[in-house]
């Protein structure tokens, strides 16, 4: 109490330890004295660079450009790994793209001779300005000079794995489209994924380098296709209307690809598979008539196919769509010739050039011999008429369903209009009559079923 009064009225505090202890609040007795024992500061060990023993607690200040004095390479391990991975993928990308371009260039160098010798215009550059006013042999010579100057540019790069070329200006042929589809060597992960998928799933195609060419015959329509090109008269000559031939489907296919081709293409599904003793055992014929096979399976074709070996996949002559037609317009015949081959890994195209040459000249053979007897034409027409009848039947059923739905909508609209014209009591009677009619109909159906 005395200490409290002294604090309030300014009394002198006692200097004795007892008095001091008496003035301490008992609630804070634990904090009235310093901790015991007191912490002893630890002095850092002297370093060899500081003989006096004074420890340096931080690195000395350096100029802003002396980054190597403040940081070390060990601090950037994660960044180094990321940059290394990016560098590896970039090198693989550039190397793979270069491999694909080299492969495409070697293909066009091997096949430019048959293309330029068979067609007046090759590539996408069109007719050069220097040849615009020339005719006859002068025009052909100017086009040949233009092809020689273009060289590798006859093939256009659509992407890093797709290359294409185009050719036109030949008797019996409107134009030819050629597409090279190569492995995605610029991305090894995609190649690995496609390879694994093809190994485990039959539906996935094996990734490989292939060339696909599609030839579109004139079929007697030269005047509609090349009416205004320079030298069009020379291209048509005296063959206006004489390049037509009868439509059919015929193919020579590698047996390993036979099943997939039949499943993927509607036109080939119309044919019958028959082995031919003239062909090697790894090739087969898909035809609609034996007479067609006898006319088209020439010694030149057999020799070229044998020379191509396992790289040859199929040669198809067709007038039907690849996908099954769903409308009558899609059933209109469109004559085309398809060739597909795998590209050799060593870029040696000596054995593939003969089959490509035969493919380019096949229309000449078709114009000469593809005019069948009425019996063959009737047999060929049966499958086409069956498809057309199926489409017509489906269209009629669809139209009948639409008419039935239209009648139902008209009947419902008339009922709703009649209900709106009645008062509440009359509407109730109207609905009761409807329910009675529905009940009678259901009972009648049950009686008839029983």
Which string of DSSP letters, residue by residue, matches 133-150? T--HHHHHHHHHHHHHHH
Reported confidence tier of residue 440, pLDDT bands at 50, 70, 90: confident
The CA distance from 272 to 363, in Å, is 23
Question: Going by C-beta distance under 8 Å and a sequence separation of 6 or more, which residues neighbour residue 10?
Answer: none
199 burial via Cβ count (<10 Å: 0-12, 13-18, 19+): exposed
> DSSP strand E in 241-347: where?
250-254, 272-274, 283-287, 312-318, 336-342
The CA distance from 29 to 20, in Å, is 12
- Mean local confidence (pLDDT), 56-78: 73
Q: Report pLDDT digits (tens) over 131-161.
A: 666 666 666 666 776 777 777 788 999 999 9
Domain segments of the chain: what residues?
A: 85-377, 378-449
- Res 41: pLDDT: 55
Q: Report pLDDT digits (tens) over 258-289.
A: 999 999 999 999 999 999 999 999 999 999 99
Q: Report pLDDT digits (tens) over 197-227.
A: 877 877 677 788 999 999 999 988 877 765 5
Residue 115 has pLDDT above 60, yes or no: yes
- Mean local confidence (pLDDT), 280-305: 94
Reported confidence tier of residue 20, pLDDT bands at 50, 70, 90: very low
Q: Report pLDDT digits (tens) over 330-389.
A: 888 899 999 999 999 999 999 999 999 999 999 999 999 999 999 999 999 988 888 889
Residue 9 has pLDDT above 60, yes or no: no
Reported confidence tier of residue 7, pLDDT bands at 50, 70, 90: low
Residue with tokens 């059919």: 248
- Res 194: pLDDT: 84
Output the CA–CA distances (angstroms, integers) from residue 282 to 87, 278, 285, 353, in the order listed: 46, 12, 11, 20
Residue 426 has pLDDT above 60, yes or no: yes
Phi, psi of 220 (to 5 degrees): 80, 10
Reported confidence tier of residue 44, pLDDT bands at 50, 70, 90: low
Helix (H) or strand (E) holding 313: strand 312-318
The CA distance from 121 to 113, in Å, is 12
Q: Which of 223, 222, 206, 232 is nearest to 363 (CA)?
A: 222
């Amino acid at each position: 109490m005395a200490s409290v009064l002294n604090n309030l009225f300014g009394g002198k505090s006692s200097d004795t330890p007892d008095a001091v202890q008496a003035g301490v609040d008992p609630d804070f007795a634990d904090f009235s004295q310093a901790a015991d024992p007191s912490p002893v500061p630890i002095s850092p060990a002297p370093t060899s660079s500081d003989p006096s023993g004074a420890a340096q607690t931080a690195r000395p200040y350096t100029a802003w450009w002396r980054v190597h004095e403040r940081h070390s390479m060990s601090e950037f391990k994660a960044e180094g790994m990321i940059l290394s991975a990016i560098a590896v993928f970039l090198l693989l990308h550039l190397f793979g793209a270069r491999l694909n371009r080299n492969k495409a260039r070697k293909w066009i160098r091997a096949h430019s001779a048959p293309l330029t010798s068979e067609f007046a215009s090759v590539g996408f550059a069109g007719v050069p300005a220097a040849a615009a006013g020339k005719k006859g042999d002068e025009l052909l010579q100017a086009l040949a000079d233009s092809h020689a100057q273009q060289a590798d540019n006859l093939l256009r790069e659509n992407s890093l794995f797709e290359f294409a070329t185009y050719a036109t200006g030949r008797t019996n042929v409107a134009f030819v489209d050629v597409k090279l589809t190569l492995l995605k060597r610029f991305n090894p992960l995609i190649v690995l994924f496609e390879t694994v998928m093809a190994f485990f799933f039959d539906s996935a195609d094996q990734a490989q380098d292939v060339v696909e060419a599609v030839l579109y015959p004139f079929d007697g329509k030269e005047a509609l296709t090349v009416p205004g090109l320079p030298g069009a008269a020379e291209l048509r000559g005296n063959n206006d209307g004489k390049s037509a031939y009868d439509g059919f489907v015929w193919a020579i296919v590698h047996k390993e690809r036979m099943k997939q081709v039949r499943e993927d293409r509607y036109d080939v599904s119309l044919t019958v598979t028959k082995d031919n003793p003239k062909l090697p055992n790894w090739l087969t014929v898909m035809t609609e008539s034996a007479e067609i096979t006898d006319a088209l399976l020439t010694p030149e074709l057999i020799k070229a196919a044998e020379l191509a070996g396992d790289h040859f996949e199929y040669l198809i002559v067709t007038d039907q769509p690849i996908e099954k037609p769903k409308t009558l317009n899609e059933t209109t015949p469109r004559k085309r010739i398809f060739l597909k081959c795998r590209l050799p890994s060593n870029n040696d195209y000596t054995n593939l050039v003969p089959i490509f040459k035969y493919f380019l000249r096949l229309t000449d053979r078709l114009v000469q011999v593809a005019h069948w007897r009425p019996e063959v034409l009737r047999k060929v027409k049966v499958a086409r008429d069956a498809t057309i009848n199926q489409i017509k039947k489906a269209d009629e059923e669809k139209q009948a369903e639409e008419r039935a739905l239209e009648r139902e909508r008209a009947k419902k609209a008339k009922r709703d209009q009649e209900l709106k014209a009645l008062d509440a009591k009359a509407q109730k009677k109207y609905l009761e009559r409807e329910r009675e009619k529905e009940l009678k109909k259901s009972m009648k159906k049950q009686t008839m079923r029983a």
